[in-house]
Amino acid sequence: MSAESLTDEKIGELLSTPKRVTNPNSKWREKPGHNERNYTVESMDSTHHFVLYVRQNRNLDDDFSCGLRWLAPSGETITLARYNGSSHSHPNHVEKQRLGFVCHIHKATERYIRAGKKIEGYAEDASLRYNSVKGALACLVGDCAIKGIVTEPDHPDLFK
C-alpha cells in the first residue's frame, strides 16, 4: 500500500491499532541544532511497523516535534501524526487558514493526499492539550495506542 492509496479509514486504523515500543531505552542523539530520540514501534500482532520520533531544538523550548511514521509494505515511510510546538504559525493550505503560534497536531488525511499536499499537512490547535515536548509525547502515545514507554503529561496554562 502506498501513500496515494491511503484512505481516512485506513489512516484511522493504523493510528488506533494497539502498538508497543520495542526499544524503550532509546538514547537521545545530538543532531545539528536539535536532539533526537527514535523508538521502534510495532503493532501488537506484529503486522505493522512504525517509528516514533522525538525532536527538541537545543535553543528554543517551544520548537519541538513528536511524530509517528508508518513503515508501509511498499517501502515508503509515511508520517501519520506529528505533534509540534508553538514556535511557528502553521498554514492549512487546503482550508486556506492559518493557525497562530500555538502547539498543534498534524494529521495525515486523504483530503491532503488527493490535493497533492504533504500527507500530514493538515493541523489542529492543541494548545489546551500540551505545551512541552514531554506533554506532546504523552498525548501522541495516548492518542495512538502505544504501550511500553513512560511519558509525563503536562497541563497547559488555561489562563494565558
The domains of the chain are located at 3-147
Sequence-separated (6 or more) residues with CB below 8 Å from residue 111: 8, 94, 122
pLDDT score at 158: 55
Q: Is the pLDDT reported for residue 67 higher than 60?
A: yes
Beta-carbon-side half-sphere exposure of residue 111 (alpha carbons within 13 Å): 8
pLDDT digits (tens, 9 = 90+) for 84-119: 999 999 999 999 999 999 999 999 999 999 999 999
Mean per-residue pLDDT, 127-154:
93
Average pLDDT over residues 4-16: 93
Q: Rounded to two decimals, what is the model's pTM?
A: 0.92
Q: Is 9 helix (H, G, I), strand (E, B) or coil?
A: helix
Instruction: Look at residue 3 and give its three-state secondary structure.
Output: helix
Convert the pLDDT of each residue in 30-51 to its tens digit.
999 999 999 999 999 999 999 9
pLDDT of res. 82: 98
